[in-house]
Amino acid sequence: MKNLGSKLVLIITGIFIFFPLYAATEFSMRNGAEHTHGLTAYRWIFEQSGFFENLAITARITVLAVILNLLIMVPTVTWLHLSGQRYKRLVEILTILPLIIPVVALATGAQLALPSILQNTVYELSFMYVVVAMPYTYRALDIGLSGHPLATLTNAARNLGASWVRVLTNVIVPTIRPSILAALFLMVALSLGEFTLAQLLHWSTFPVWVTNTSQQNIIGATALAVGSLFFAWILLFGFTFFGGKKSNTVQEEA
């Protein structure tokens, strides 16, 4: 009796989540002439110019964003946990600020004030994505690090004669790998689907290309929507469900 209500809620939720997806998949497989189904619309996607180019651009932006994010966040958060506890509150506040500013507003500012060398390259997006993802990536790393006796491990390594670089690469990074993966996942999720900054800063990325191409053919556009959703979902779901296993245990330890 007790669980009946909650089961019902979960079933309704499942319908709400999967029905639009089912409807879109069905629609995308229509062959113009109503009653037959096929993959015509999916073939149409690959025939559109710019598919591979834009996918490649988004992939490169994502890789740079991931690298920048890890280079800046991992050493900073590690230091905060080891010896910068006094600055933790300050950094917590600083890193949550991007959540306060709507991305649309940030885009108008970026268009105005980014260094001019960056304004001329699509990779300015990587830098902005690192900022937009920071509230999430900082927290993912912070939670992950809280579960480990990092100071003890570091002291031990230092006493055995390891350099600081070696401590970072051989002690800290392997210990906190699950939270690094979590931060990486969040960064990838954001970069793959981000539309607002790319559109307002006038760059062509995969999401922008999807939007523009969608205007030509409604069935093709639905196929494109289903395709890009499934692509992102499989990638992200794989990341969280399998990569998340370890980071969950870290959180429980904390």
Partner 1 sequence: MKQATNPNVDMKGALSKGGAFHGFMSKFPLPLVPLFLFLLIFFMWPIGALTGNAFKSNEGALTLSNISLLFQDPYRLAFKNSITLGFISALVGAIPGLVIAMAIEKQGSQTLKKFVASISGVLANTGGVPLAFMFLAAFGPAGLVISALKSVGLDLYGLGFTLFSFTGLVIVYAYFQIPIMVIVVTPALSALRTEWKDSAANLGASKIQYWVRVGIPILLPSFIACFLLLFASAFSAFATARALTVGNIALVPLQIGSLVDGNVTVNQANLGYALAFGMIIISLLAMIPYIWIQSRTSKWQR
Q: Least distance to partner 1 from the beta carbon of 53, Å?
A: 18
Nearer to partner 1, 175 or 188 (CB): 188
Cα dihedral 82, 141, 61, 190, rounded to 10, equals: -160
Which of 31, 36, 119, 155 is the binder for partner 1 (CB under 8 A)?
A: 155
Nearer to partner 1, 50 or 244 (CB): 244
Tell me whether residue 114 is exposed, middle or buried, using C-beta atoms within 10 angstroms of its C-beta: 0 to 12, 13 to 18, 19 or more: middle
Nearer to partner 1, 59 or 84 (CB): 84
Q: Name residue, tokens 């060398």.
A: 117
CA 121 to chain centre: 21
Which of 59, 114, 162, 168 is the binder for partner 1 (CB under 8 A)?
A: 114
Cβ atoms of residues 156 and 173 within 8 Å? no
Q: Least distance to partner 1 from the beta carbon of 170, Å?
A: 19
Please give the residues from 201 up to 230 whose contact with partner 1 meets the rule CB under 8 A.
202, 207, 210-211, 214, 218, 221-222, 224-226, 228-229
Classify 161 as helix, strand or coil. Answer: coil
Please give the residues from 7 up to 26 whose contact with partner 1 meets the rule CB under 8 A.
7, 9-10, 13, 16-17, 19-24, 26
Which of 42, 51, 123, 127 is the binder for partner 1 (CB under 8 A)?
A: 127
Rule CB under 8 A: say whether 121 interacts with partner 1: no
**Beta-ladder partners of 30:** 37
- Residue 100: which of 143, 68, 132 has the closest Cα? 132
Q: Least distance to partner 1 from the beta carbon of 219, Å?
A: 10
Q: How far is residue 175's CA from residue 195's CA, in Å, rounded to a whole number?
A: 35
Hey, what are 63's tokens? Answer: 């890789």
Q: How far is residue 249's CA from residue 246's CA, in Å, rounded to a whole number?
A: 5
Nearer to partner 1, 125 or 175 (CB): 125
Which range touches partner 1 (CB under 8 A), out of 6-14, 39-47, 51-59, 172-180?
Answer: 6-14
